[in-house]
């Protein structure tokens, strides 16, 4: 058989073999970054832990002081150190905050002034020490207004308006803009608009099994398919590792399992989700609980 014929046959067979999708780095929520800002040793442990567990994106909560145009980032000097070390390791770090109250129109200026505080900080420091994005975890369905249909419609309209303004303000400052949403916000809700506003979305897909009708994959597919078709956002699929002591149903968290079992489920989920254009990776909630699980002797 000629070399040309072998080459042609190889090309045909290769075209019949599904292309492997690389597993993307993961994201992780950090709601209490104070140990990382306070303690050089804790920063080192944190950064080594993130490298071992393939974390590429950190969503870390900020605090700010002042009001309106005078609002400023708290502990700016410590953030400069942490951000520089994170970036030297090849990771990105986004400023995280959130409160259901921010969805109310009367509170929009408060939320927006936090973006302004991050923007002002970034403008005052070298590129290595800047935040890469802004990430809001505002959950309007936790407000009492959500229970009444007419009030819910107004609340959703205000929530979407906040996100449009927040994305525009973030982009003007060179920041990526991200939000968290529950998995049950499906096609019946006006979230298609939100998926087109944000640069990245974290689905709170809190299940501890990859498969089945109530599993991680099943609850992520709707959002991923919609985003593949209509939107620009990249979608992280979030899982929970804490909450057992607070009575979180066992199916909603990996707490109490082993890191081996968790990784087996996540590997299965990632293989099923990797073919989606919009899939950005797994996101894990949150650092202390995940570290406890990962370091457990189980």
**pLDDT confidence tier of residue 20, bands split at 50, 70 and 90:** low
Q: Where are the domains of the chain?
A: 23-164, 183-298
Q: Which of 124, 114, 91 is nearest to 170 (CA)?
A: 114
**Choice between 20 and 107, residue whose per-residue pLDDT is larger:** 107
The set of residues, in sequence order, having a beta carbon less than 8 Å from that of 124 and lying 6+ positions away, is 76
What is the structure's pLDDT at 8? 42
pLDDT for residue 188: 57
Q: What is the pLDDT of residues 203-261, one digit of tens each?
A: 999 999 999 999 999 999 999 999 999 888 999 999 999 987 778 899 999 999 999 99
- Mind listing the pLDDT tens digit for each residue in 128-183? 999 999 999 999 999 999 999 999 999 999 999 999 999 999 999 999 999 999 99
Q: Which whole number is the average pLDDT over 29-37?
A: 98
Task: Using DSSP bridges, classify how beta strands 72-73 and 64-65 pair: parallel, antiparallel or unpaired.
Answer: antiparallel
Beta strands in the chain (DSSP E): 26-30, 55-61, 64-65, 72-73, 92-97, 133-136, 176-182, 200-204, 234-240, 279-285
Q: Please give the pLDDT value at position 244.
A: 75
Is 198 exposed, middle or buried (CB count within 10 Å of its CB: 0-12, 13-18, 19+)?
buried
The reported pLDDT for the residue numbered 187 is 60
Whether 10 shows a pLDDT value over 70: the answer reads: no
Q: Is 257 helix (H, G, I), strand (E, B) or coil?
A: coil
In the predicted structure, residue 9 carries a pLDDT above the cut 50:
no
d(CA 167, CA 64): 19
Nearest alpha carbon to residue 186 among 136, 229, 226, 142: 226
Tell me which of 297 and 83 has the higher pLDDT: 83
240 vs 14, residue with greater confidence: 240
- pLDDT at residue 278 above 50? yes
DSSP 12: H
Give phi and psi for 96, each to the nearest 5.
-115, 135
On the question of pLDDT at 59 being above 60, the answer is yes
What is this structure's pTM? 0.91
Listed in sequence order, the residues at least 6 apart from 15 whose beta carbon sits closer than 8 Å to its beta carbon are none
First to last CA, the chain: 57
200 within 8 A of 242, measured Cβ to Cβ: no
Predicted confidence at residue 5, as pLDDT, reads 40
- Average pLDDT score over residue span 9-31: 64
Which has the closest alpha carbon to 173: 232, 226, 221, 114?
A: 114
Average pLDDT of the residues of the chain: 91
SS3 180: strand
pLDDT score of 6: 36
pLDDT of residue 21: 64
């Amino acid at each position: 058989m000629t070399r040309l014929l072998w080459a042609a046959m190889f090309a045909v067979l290769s075209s019949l073999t599904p292309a492997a999708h690389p597993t993307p780095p993961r994201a992780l929520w950090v709601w209490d970054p104070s140990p990382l800002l306070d303690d050089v040793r804790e920063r080192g442990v944190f950064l080594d832990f993130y490298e071992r567990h393939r974390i590429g994106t950190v969503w870390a909560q900020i605090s700010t002081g002042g009001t309106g145009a005078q609002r400023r980032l708290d502990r700016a000097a410590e953030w400069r150190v942490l951000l520089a070390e994170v970036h030297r390791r090849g990771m990105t770090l986004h400023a995280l905050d959130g409160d259901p109250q921010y969805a109310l129109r009367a509170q929009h200026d408060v939320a927006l002034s936090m973006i302004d505080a991050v923007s002002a900080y970034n403008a005052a420091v070298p590129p290595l020490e800047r935040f890469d994005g802004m990430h809001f975890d505002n959950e309007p369905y936790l407000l009492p207004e959500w229970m009444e249909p007419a009030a819910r419609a107004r609340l959703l309209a205000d929530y979407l308006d906040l996100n449009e303004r927040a994305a525009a303000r973030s982009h003007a400052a060179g920041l990526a803009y991200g939000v968290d949403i529950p998995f049950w916000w499906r096609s019946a809700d006006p979230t298609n608009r939100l998926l087109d506003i944000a640069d990245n979305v974290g689905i709170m897909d809190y299940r501890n099994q990859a498969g089945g009708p109530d599993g991680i994959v099943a609850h992520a597919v709707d959002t991923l398919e919609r985003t593949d078709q209509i939107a620009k956002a990249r979608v992280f699929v979030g899982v929970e590792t804490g909450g057992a002591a607070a009575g979180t149903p066992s199916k909603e968290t990996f707490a109490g399992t082993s890191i081996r079992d968790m990784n087996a489920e996540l590997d299965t989920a990632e293989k099923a989700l990797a073919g989606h254009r919009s899939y950005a990776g797994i996101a894990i909630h949150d650092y202390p609980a995940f570290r406890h699980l990962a370091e457990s002797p189980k």
